């Protein structure tokens, strides 16, 4: 089945310099969409991305509501009406609760939950006037299962997940679909940055009963392309009657769908 609904449409992608974000930008462009891709200035400096007639890159701090609104406005002025949005920007924190400073908690909440609010609210407002659009928020399977040393991250993703479902309920009357992707362990720099040695992947796949963590039944990590493919489906015409869904893409790691 060939996914449709992308040709000559405009998409905005946050977190676009990350592994999942880059895969999303490539998939959207290949499908015929015009893309405004965003990430932090530091991430863009490291990536040194190239622009084209169908692609613009902009630095964006998703914690800044005014900057987010300006970015959506620029996408519409430069590329056309935005009808597709993927919010993939996020950060991880791996501290035990008792060792988590208040500042770290706030940083994670402001980025992962606050960023979701700012980005999807701006996208929803732009799409509502035309009664058309699809938004996908990249959350995490950690939003639905307790994790040791990841309370701030899990809580921020749980907030982003429920917010997106509520947003989907409100925007349904405007013909706008809002869905959530919940990836598990994915082979990206965010994942590998948590590994102490080259056995990290094997440990994740096998699981760790001592930390109350199951392994991955499929016996492999997700790739960025796996997550991008799931996002493309949720954005496509073929998912035209799907909204407020929470799709786990984790190889069965959380033993839920």
Q: What is the mean pLDDT of each run of 10 residues along the chain (257 residues)?
A: 96 97 98 98 95 96 98 98 98 97 98 98 97 98 95 98 98 98 81 59 73 89 95 98 97 87
Q: pTM for the full model?
A: 0.94
pLDDT of residue 209: 85
Give the model's pLDDT for residue 131.
96
Q: Return the pLDDT at 9.
A: 98
Q: What is the pLDDT of residue 206?
A: 66
CB 92 within 8 A of CB 109: no
CA gap 36, 34 in Å, rounded: 7
Give the pLDDT score at 1. Answer: 79
- Domain residue spans in the chain? 10-184+222-246
Check residue 256 and give its pLDDT.
Answer: 82
CA distances from 228 to 112, 169, 254 (A): 19, 24, 20
What integer pLDDT is reported at residue 150 of this predicted model?
96
For domain 10-184+222-246, which CATH number applies: 3.65.10.10, 2.60.40.10, 1.10.10.10, 3.40.50.720? 3.40.50.720
Tokens of 156: 């921020």
List active site positions. 153
Distance of CA 193 to CAs 108, 149, 150, 201, 210, Å? 17, 15, 14, 11, 21
User: What is the Cα gyration radius of the chain?
Assistant: 17
* 28: three-class secondary structure by DSSP: helix
């Amino acid at each position: 089945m060939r996914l449709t609904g992308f040709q000559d449409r405009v998409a905005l992608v946050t977190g676009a310099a990350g592994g999942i974000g880059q895969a999303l930008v490539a998939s959207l462009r290949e499908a015929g969409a015009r893309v405004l891709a965003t990430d932090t200035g530091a991430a863009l400096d490291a990536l040194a991305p190239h622009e084209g007639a169908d692609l613009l890159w902009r630095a964006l701090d998703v914690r800044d509501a005014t900057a987010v609104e300006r970015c959506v406005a620029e996408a519409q002025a430069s590329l056309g009406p935005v009808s597709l949005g993927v919010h993939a920007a996020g950060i991880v924190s791996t501290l035990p609760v008792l060792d988590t400073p208040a500042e770290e908690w706030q940083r994670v909440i402001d980025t992962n939950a606050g960023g979701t609010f700012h980005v999807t609210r701006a996208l929803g407002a732009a799409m509502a006037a035309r009664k058309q659009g699809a938004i996908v928020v990249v959350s995490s399977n950690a939003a639905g299962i307790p994790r040791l040393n990841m309370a701030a991250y899990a809580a921020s993703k749980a907030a982003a997940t429920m917010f997106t479902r509520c947003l989907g309920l409100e925007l349904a009357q405007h013909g706008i679909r809002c869905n959530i992707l919940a990836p598990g362990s994915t082979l990206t720099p965010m994942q590998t940055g948590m590994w102490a040695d080259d056995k990290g992947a094997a440990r994740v796949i096998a699981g760790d009963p001592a930390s109350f963590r199951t392994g991955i039944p499929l016996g492999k990590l997700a790739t960025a392309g796996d997550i991008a493919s799931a996002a493309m489906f949720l954005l496509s015409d073929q998912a035209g009657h799907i909204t407020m869904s929470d799709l786990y893409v984790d190889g069965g790691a959380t033993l839920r769908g």
